[in-house]
């Protein structure tokens, strides 16, 4: 039987990187547009430019995937549909990569006939998710970056016929699970789910009080499976090896794609492996880690004592007696190279483009710190021994290759963008308004609630210890909340746990990922009176997404709490099912599977500005919480009038060190969500 060969998928944040991926032999290139992309900091592509590049790629047998992998806000559907309609008519990409499930029907209604791939941001983390994704019309699912080899095999074993899996093999790692991070959004409305994360996990934090040592407690090294990719060749369901890096330059793309092509095409050749590893070491990424891919040989993704800046360290700042700063590089530096002085959270940080060659051991005088923009903090001078990194370069040979390719693209010509389409998204009639009810959600049944009617609106996170604490006559009145992340190795346990809960009389469940609907096969026939709601961790923010969730059998949906007040108040009037909202309680900054040994649970973690966070473990994951609660209860009356049918209070026990302070957060109610 012929061996299934997975495609090598290259990232592209601009046209030079796109062409570098094609030049290196990528089988597919993925990229984002100017809007609705999860990497809005990348340059991204206009439709006319992309049409020519796509035609050029198709002539060479290279597929093009467009990432529209962001959260849809309530009023985004018309603009998203118009964009897909124009994309289909002008560019003809092979696939769309989507995070928000509401994009799937919108794309089909807009006339897109290509493949639909489920982004890793959609958090399809367990086997039952695959059948649900296929039911919704997807042909591929991007696996989480936190999976081990055994877990990837488990997902493959449950992969339906006609469904493919895509797996990251190289690139940046997020500390929190994709789709389960609100850190950047919580502190200022720049949401990772909207492509605008400011990467607060990369900053310096400290434990042990204000005098504790600042360390990069949450900053991950880059994933680099390199020689460990060989076992993936024996998993035919894994049809794509994905390389992260849409904010990287053509040098990175060319070197990394070339390396993984060698590893894929020559799995038994020691020299090819050696060459591939050498190429990766020159790609100007961060230090690499295998992560948890081989549990018997784990590589901690977070090493607080080490810098995790991207690029190659080429020297340190030196100073003359008069104070002039310079660097003597350890490598030859070329015209067009880009240097970074310090790390991005250093007050002296800046990037420096080179206009001339600097030989190894030569001297490069560093420019003075640029003046601060109005209202910004003034940048200080770089101290002696500050690191200097080479973060991108323009080798003459690669530039010549790309220049020749540009000539071929120019022959095709840039396709003019058509006049804006008039896509009309479907509208939905809201259900009749009802008096809102409030659910108090606990980790276990509080004392005093084991009897009587007060349990009617009690929610409990579903774990066996919590289930056994609830008397059988009470189990049917409880709302059982499923965790936001279920890993492949955990699915069987939760299926058994839900069966036990049903046997004890439970009928009300809150799903915190839409894929968890797949854990209730044949629910209508086997359990009379079963009620399912989608929870707030499903990141629902539009009526079109609510309609998709309703098709999976839920009868009500919680809205994402990261929306603005105006957006939250508009949702119930347009959604086809009753809506709920989190009114207060501890909302996590993020949920993670990994945690540095140096981070101590239930102890304060101080941000660079002295803000307090803390970490608590629930099941197989760590929840990172801010030191204060979410509380929008002051807007309760407005929310009632807007039509919300259910409120939830997330009752997390306060850590002993943390005083119940008057500070609260209203998330993005007032500031808005970009």
- pLDDT tens-digit map of 622-635: 999 999 999 999 99
In the structure encoding, which two tokens stand for residue 168, read together?
A: 């990251």
- pLDDT tens-digit map of 148-162: 999 999 999 999 999
**pLDDT score, position 73:** 93
Its CATH class, for the domain covering 437-665, is: alpha beta
In this predicted structure, the answer to whether residue 40 has a pLDDT above a threshold of 90 is no
pLDDT band at residue 346 under the 50/70/90 scheme: confident
What H or E segment, with its residue span, contains residue 551? helix 543-551
Mean pLDDT of the chain: 91
pLDDT band at residue 525 under the 50/70/90 scheme: very low
Cα separations in angstroms, 120 against 147, 359, 432: 12, 43, 35
Give the number of other Cβ atoms within 10 Å of residue 385's Cβ.
Answer: 10
- pLDDT tens-digit map of 597-652: 999 999 999 998 888 999 999 999 999 999 999 999 999 999 999 999 999 999 99
**pLDDT score, position 377:** 45
DSSP 489-514: GGHHHHHHHHHHHHHTT--EEEESSG
- Average of pLDDT values for 251-279? 97
**pLDDT score, position 471:** 93
In the structure encoding, which two tokens stand for residue 266, read together?
A: 């020559």
Strand pairing report for 238-243 and 318-319: unpaired
- Higher-pLDDT residue of 234 and 609 is 234
Give the number of other Cβ atoms within 10 Å of residue 439's Cβ.
Answer: 22
**pLDDT score, position 587:** 97
Q: Closest by alpha carbon to 492, among 101, 138, 157?
A: 157
pLDDT band at residue 321 under the 50/70/90 scheme: confident
Fold of 7-173+221-284+398-412: TIM Barrel (3.20.20)
In this predicted structure, the answer to whether residue 84 has a pLDDT above a threshold of 90 is yes
**pLDDT score, position 301:** 92
- Higher-pLDDT residue of 300 and 107 is 107
Q: What is the largest CA-CA distance in the chain?
A: 83
**pLDDT score, position 31:** 96
- Higher-pLDDT residue of 415 and 573 is 573
**H-only helix segments in 378-479:** 396-412, 464-468, 472-475
Rg (CA), the chain: 26
Could you give the percent of the chain with pLDDT greater than 70? 94
Would the pTM of this model clear 0.85, i.e. be above it?
Answer: yes
Residue indicated by tokens 């597919």: 28
Q: Rank 157-171, 379-393, 601-615 by mean pLDDT and report only the highest.
A: 157-171
Q: Which of 281-285, 286-290, 297-301 has the lowest mean pLDDT?
A: 297-301
In this predicted structure, the answer to whether residue 518 has a pLDDT above a threshold of 90 is yes
CB environment 449-466: b (16+ within 10 A), e (fewer): beeeeebebbbbbbbeeb
In this predicted structure, the answer to whether residue 345 has a pLDDT above a threshold of 80 is no
Contact present, 289 and 224 (Cβ < 8 Å): yes
**pLDDT score, position 451:** 47
- pLDDT tens-digit map of 436-489: 999 999 999 987 665 444 545 999 999 999 999 999 999 999 999 999 999 999
């Amino acid at each position: 039987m012929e061996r299934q060969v997975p495609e090598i998928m290259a990232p592209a944040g601009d046209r030079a990187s796109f062409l570098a991926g094609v030049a290196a032999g990528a089988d597919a290139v993925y990229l984002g547009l100017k809007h609705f992309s999860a990497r809005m900091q990348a340059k991204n592509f206009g439709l006319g430019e992309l049409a020519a590049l796509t035609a050029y790629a198709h002539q060479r047998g290279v597929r093009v995937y467009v990432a529209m992998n962001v959260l849809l806000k309530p009023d985004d559907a018309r603009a998203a549909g118009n964009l897909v309609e124009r994309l289909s008519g002008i560019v003809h990409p092979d696939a769309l990569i989507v995070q928000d499930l509401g994009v799937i029907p919108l794309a089909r209604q807009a006339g897109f006939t290509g493949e639909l791939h489920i982004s890793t941001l959609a958090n399809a983390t367990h086997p039952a998710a695959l059948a649900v994704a296929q039911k919704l019309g997807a042909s591929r699912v991007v696996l989480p970056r936190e999976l081990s080899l055994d877990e990837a095999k488990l997902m493959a074993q449950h992969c339906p016929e006609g469904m493919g899996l895509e797996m990251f093999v190289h690139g940046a790692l997020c500390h929190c699970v994709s789709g389960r991070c609100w850190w950047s959004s919580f502190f200022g409305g720049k949401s990772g789910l909207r492509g605008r994360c400011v990467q607060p996990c990369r900053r310096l934090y400290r434990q042990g009080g204000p005098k504790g040592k600042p360390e990069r407690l949450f900053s991950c090294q880059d994933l680099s499976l390199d020689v460990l990719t060989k076992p993936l060749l024996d998993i035919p369901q894994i049809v794509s090896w994905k390389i992260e890096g849409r904010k990287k330059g053509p040098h990175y793309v060319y070197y990394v794609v070339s390396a993984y092509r060698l590893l894929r095409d020559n799995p038994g050749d020691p020299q090819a492996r050696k060459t591939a590893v050498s190429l990766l070491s020159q790609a100007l990424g961060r230090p690499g880690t295998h992560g948890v891919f081989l549990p018997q040989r784990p590589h901690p993704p977070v090493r607080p004592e080490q810098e995790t800046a991207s690029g190659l360290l080429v020297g340190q700042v030196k100073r003359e007696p008069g104070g002039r700063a310079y660097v003597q590089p350890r490598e030859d530096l070329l015209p067009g190279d880009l240097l970074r002085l310090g790390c991005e959270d250093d007050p002296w940080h800046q990037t420096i483009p080179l206009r001339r060659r600097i030989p190894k051991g030569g001297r490069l005088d560093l420019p003075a710190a640029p003046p601060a923009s109005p209202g910004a903090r003034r940048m200080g001078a770089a101290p002696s021994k500050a690191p200097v990194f080479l973060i991108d370069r323009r080798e003459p040979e690669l530039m010549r290759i790309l220049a020749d390719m540009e000539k071929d693209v120019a022959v095709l010509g840039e396709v003019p963008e058509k006049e804006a389409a008039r896509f009309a998204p479907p509208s939905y009639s809201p259900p009749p308004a009802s008096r809102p009810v409030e659910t108090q959600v606990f980790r276990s049944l509080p004392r005093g609630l084991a009897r009587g009617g007060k349990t009617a609106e009690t929610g409990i996170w579903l774990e066996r210890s919590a289930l056994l604490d609830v008397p059988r006559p009470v189990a049917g009145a409880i709302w059982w909340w499923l965790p936001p992340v279920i890993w492949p190795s955990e699915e069987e346990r939760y299926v058994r746990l839900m069966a036990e809960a049903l046997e004890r009389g439970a009928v009300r469940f809150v799903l915190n990922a839409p894929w968890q609907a797949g854990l209730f096969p044949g629910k209508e026939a086997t359990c009379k009176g079963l009620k399912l709601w989608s929870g707030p961790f499903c990141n629902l923010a539009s009526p079109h997404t609510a309609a998709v969730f309703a098709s999976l059998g839920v009868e009500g949906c919680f809205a994402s709490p990261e929306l603005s007040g105006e957006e939250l108040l508009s949702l119930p009037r347009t959604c086809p099912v009753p809506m709920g909202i989190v009114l207060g309680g501890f909302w996590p900054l993020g949920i993670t599977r990994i945690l540095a040994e140096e981070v101590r649970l239930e102890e304060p973690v101080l941000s660079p500005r002295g803000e307090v966070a803390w970490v608590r473990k629930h099941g197989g994951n760590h929840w990172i919480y801010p030191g204060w609660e979410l509380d929008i209860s002051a807007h309760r009356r407005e929310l009632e009038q807007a039509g919300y049918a259910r409120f939830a209070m997330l009752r997390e026990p306060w850590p002993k060190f943390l005083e119940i302070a008057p500070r609260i957060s209203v998330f993005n109610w007032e500031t808005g969500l970009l």
